[in-house]
Structure 1
Amino acid sequence: MTGELVLRTCGALVLALLLGAGGRWVARVARQPEVIGEITGGLIIGPVVLAVAGRSGLAAVFPHEALAVLKILGELGLVLFLVRVAQELRVAFASRAENSTGRTVGLIAGGAFVPAVAAGLAFAGYLVAQGDPALRGTAPTPAFVLVVVICLTTTAVPVLARILADRNLLGSAEGSLSMAAAVLNDAVNWPILAIGLGLASGRMSGALMALAVLGGGLVVAAGLSRVLSTGVVSGFCLRRPWIVAVLLAVLACAAAEVTDEFGLTTILGAFLVGLAVPPERTAGPWARVVGGMAKASSKLVPLFFVVAGVTVFTGPLGSLSWVTIVAALVLAVAGKLGGGYLGARLGGQPPAIARRIGVLLNTRGLTEIIVLQAGFAAGVLPPALYLTGLVMALATTALTGPLLGLLDRVDAVRRRKAPSAREDPA
């Protein structure tokens, strides 16, 4: 690599990092999750530069070699993020086991899953019936349908946890129930995603191999978790958290490569390593290790979306229409928000809490983007449908805060009217 190319690569890296920081700042000002700003800023930079400076200008700002470096760093960020996602799922699941509400959680999880599956099937059926290769792609129908369904059933546990913390709802009924339901949903979604990706080869043996790799990975993760929970290892983590974080990151990257070799996605490998991390809530050696990895991932993940914005969304997207985007958005909201509300009501929750649970479960965030990326990388989702899913994920996540605020105002008005209603002699 020449000196000029090194400088241009460094310039592209600095620009991408600035975009991520700027996106986070805009999101905070708009009272939105920071990930929305990171993703949006990264995705629009490619089309913006293309519109202003043309293809030659885009190649000058983001040369091919620079994009290769950004892609590697961005994928490393995703690997680190997935370790954190899996660890947070374990923490949330452990918390649910300690504070089990049994039937209510099951009904809410089922309510948020079954209608969302129906919505996903309806959307997949619509795309197959359209027969547009720009939206349908060339993947086998079973793989395509399963991945589309998972795209509409995902709830982003990390973003949900952040929203609950920002609004002081972690200990509330709606907070604990929505988190527990989201964890159960995601626990079902990951194996289904593995099957869908395995079916992308067009052979049932691919799905069986995916299940075998996933099952073997879970066994290894459970054994590794026991080893990592020992006092000797935990004590070393407490003294050298950054060394352990680096070793864990290397292990996650290696596991990602192994799963990729078996025809799955690197996402599942990193996720399995995250499941091996002992669950700790806020303190302790492993919480410090995962916290350090989370800080690194927050800086690197935006690079991934810059690469997507330059490579995917500056090319032809076929007959992408707003009708398809609106259909995806409406079905996604109806399945998760409506299903979550219905499940909460069946579980005995009052309407006010049920509405909030539905809104919270409609949060998709970066976990949804990772599912979309898995389908896109496996060739199941074409670029136009990938973009449709990104718009849907960003919109549903951005809706969470305003909808919760609207519900707060509606409930406040009702509380003010309640005393006057009781005093009315009529």
Structure 2
Amino acid sequence: MTSHATILLLDLALIIVLARALGAGARALGQPPVIGEVLAGVFVLPLLISNGIGGGLFPASIRADLSALATIGVALFMFVVGMELDGGLLRGKGKVAAAVATASILLPLGLGTLLAWYLADAHAPAGRTGFFVFIAVALSITAFPVLARILTDRGMQRTPVGSLALTCAAINDVLAWVLLAVAVTLTGQGHGNQWLVLLVLPYLAVMVWVVRPLLGRLLVGRGKLTPGALAVVVAGVLLSAAFTEWIGLHLIFGAFLFGVVMPRQGARELVHDRVAELNGVLLLPIFFIVAGLKVDLSAFSTTGLGELAWILLAAITGKFLGAFGAARLSGMSTRHSAVLGTLMNTRGLTELIVLSIGAELGLLDARLYTLMVVMALVTTAMAGPLLAVLYPPSVITDDLVAPRRAPTPV
């Protein structure tokens, strides 16, 4: 008889190999590796399990273990996202970035509310307020980490429009997480007692004025990262995540804020690289599997495909038109505004985490969760082909040669 540990280890090996293989395939097709990794977890393995092929590899007891590991993976991912945010990005372009970020979140919020009204009869739980708020927030997400990797892969990170996109995505991410926290709190869907959420203010004060200086003493000025320092940081991430989960928000907020307060000097980059590499290889692919087990393939009926069309329309037009319109009004050219609108549509893993929260809180049923996952994949995958047309290498080269020349309106 095969032991529990044997099956778990076999599953972990299978998850890692499949995620890396599909990630490499996605990169070969000009897509971010995360697209292939998400497909491996969200569709390929669950499809094999549902068809009985290898179904014995993922019994209920194993799924519970994978869910626990996935929770750690999400916490560490949000910690890395927090570390990647850089306030220095705002220098010299704060007004334009704020305008684009605000427009690219307000219009999706509005269209998301209309979409929720359309979907409510078929999918909303008894308490519709939470459903409306959550759908609106879900459509406003931009995945900062995925966008950063797209820019790096295409050599756009040092172009004016690439730098602006990073800044807008950073602002958008912060606003979106705040709105999501408000949505979870106001709808009463959190895990803690309602009054505990009042502890968020002293918690923020402690993180900024106590934890940040302590981390500075631990890391700043060090040329290397000791095992002891890394242990302190990882334990701090988990404690911060546990605290926000306890007060009724979600663990992602605590992990994210711990990353934000990390000092920008010293061994910070070493912390980032070590945590991100291990997490990306092992724990995040497990999260994709756990998220994929919630996928309902029956969602792809005639009715479901019609709903998917409306979801895609609201998601794509909200982000694109919001960013494009604000950029044009700020004096950017049509080409650069369109590039910005395309980049702001990338959702990737960040959206998948948000959707998993919605499913966990009962705000998304299995069919709507599946359709929203497809939306996240489509809006991220379309960035590469669109950028190849809107922003070919020759234009990127021109912008890098004359980085100080402001794009002229056309």
CA distance in 2 between partners of 1:262 and 1:137 (Å): 24
Cα distance change on mapping 1:349 and 1:198 into 2, 3 Å: same
CA distance in 2 between partners of 1:410 and 1:262 (Å): 49
Alignment partner of 2:316 out of 325, 329, 333: 333
CA distance in 2 between partners of 1:167 and 1:409 (Å): 9
Give identity over the alignment, percent.
Answer: 30
The amino acid across from 1:286 in the alignment is R
The amino acid across from 2:377 in the alignment is L
What does residue 42 of structure 2 align with? 43
Cα distance change on mapping 1:192 and 1:51 into 2, 3 Å: closer
The amino acid across from 1:382 in the alignment is D
The amino acid across from 1:94 in the alignment is G
| 1:301 pairs with 2:295 | no
On the 8 A contact 2:219/2:267 being kept in 1, the answer is no
What does residue 155 of structure 2 align with? 168
CA distance in 1 between partners of 2:324 and 2:300 (Å): 36
What does residue 94 of structure 1 align with? 88
On the 8 A contact 2:219/2:229 being kept in 1, the answer is no
Q: Which segments of 5 or more consecutive residues in structure 2 lack a partner in the other structure? A: 399-410
What does residue 137 of structure 1 align with? 125
| 1:8 pairs with 2:7 | yes
On the 8 A contact 1:199/1:207 being kept in 2, the answer is no
CA distance in 1 between partners of 2:100 and 2:389 (Å): 22
The higher radius of gyration belongs to 1
Q: CA deviation at 1:326?
A: 1.4
Alignment partner of 2:174 out of 187, 193, 212: 187
Cα distance change on mapping 1:245 and 1:373 into 2, 3 Å: farther
On the 8 A contact 2:161/2:336 being kept in 1, the answer is yes
CA distance in 2 between partners of 1:217 and 1:317 (Å): 41
Q: CA deviation at 1:33?
A: 1.0
Q: CA deviation at 1:14?
A: 1.2
The amino acid across from 1:287 in the alignment is E
Cα distance change on mapping 1:113 and 1:309 into 2, 3 Å: closer
Alignment partner of 2:256 out of 271, 274, 283: 271
On the 8 A contact 1:340/1:357 being kept in 2, the answer is yes
On the 8 A contact 2:297/2:370 being kept in 1, the answer is no
Residue range with higher mean Cα deviation, 403-412 or 63-72: 403-412
Alignment partner of 1:114 out of 73, 87, 106: 106
The amino acid across from 1:258 in the alignment is F
What is the root-mean-square deviation in Å for CA atoms of aligned residues? 2.6
Q: CA deviation at 1:328?
A: 0.9
Cα distance change on mapping 1:306 and 1:265 into 2, 3 Å: same
Residue range with higher mean Cα deviation, 166-175 or 102-111: 102-111
Q: CA deviation at 1:241?
A: 4.5
Cα distance change on mapping 1:192 and 1:215 into 2, 3 Å: farther
| 1:215 pairs with 2:201 | yes
| 1:159 pairs with 2:146 | yes
Q: CA deviation at 1:257?
A: 2.1
SS of the aligned residue for 1:171 comes to coil
CA distance in 2 between partners of 1:242 and 1:314 (Å): 43
SS of the aligned residue for 1:278 comes to coil
CA distance in 1 between partners of 2:108 and 2:186 (Å): 21
Cα distance change on mapping 1:147 and 1:207 into 2, 3 Å: farther
SS of the aligned residue for 2:139 comes to helix
Cα distance change on mapping 1:314 and 1:63 into 2, 3 Å: farther
Q: CA deviation at 1:242?
A: 4.4
Cα distance change on mapping 1:383 and 1:308 into 2, 3 Å: same
On the 8 A contact 2:296/2:367 being kept in 1, the answer is no
Cα distance change on mapping 1:216 and 1:35 into 2, 3 Å: farther
CA distance in 1 between partners of 2:297 and 2:231 (Å): 36
What does residue 240 of structure 2 align with? 255
CA distance in 1 between partners of 2:290 and 2:39 (Å): 12
Q: CA deviation at 1:233?
A: 3.6
1:342-421 alignment to 2 at 5 Å?
Answer: 342-408=325-391
Q: CA deviation at 1:202?
A: 7.0
On the 8 A contact 2:225/2:270 being kept in 1, the answer is no
Deviation above 6 Å: which 4+ runs of structure 1? 205-208
What does residue 288 of structure 1 align with? 270
CA distance in 2 between partners of 1:68 and 1:157 (Å): 30
Alignment partner of 1:244 out of 216, 225, 229: 229
CA distance in 1 between partners of 2:245 and 2:340 (Å): 36
CA distance in 2 between partners of 1:208 and 1:353 (Å): 47
The amino acid across from 1:278 in the alignment is P
Q: Which segments of 5 or more consecutive residues in structure 1 lack a partner in the other structure? A: 416-426
User: Which of the two has greater helix per residue?
Assistant: 1
On the 8 A contact 1:256/1:268 being kept in 2, the answer is yes
SS of the aligned residue for 2:187 comes to helix
Count of residue correspondences? 392
Alignment partner of 1:123 out of 115, 123, 136: 115
Cα distance change on mapping 1:366 and 1:208 into 2, 3 Å: farther
The amino acid across from 2:113 in the alignment is L
Q: CA deviation at 1:397?
A: 0.5
The amino acid across from 1:76 in the alignment is I
Alignment partner of 1:150 out of 137, 140, 150: 137
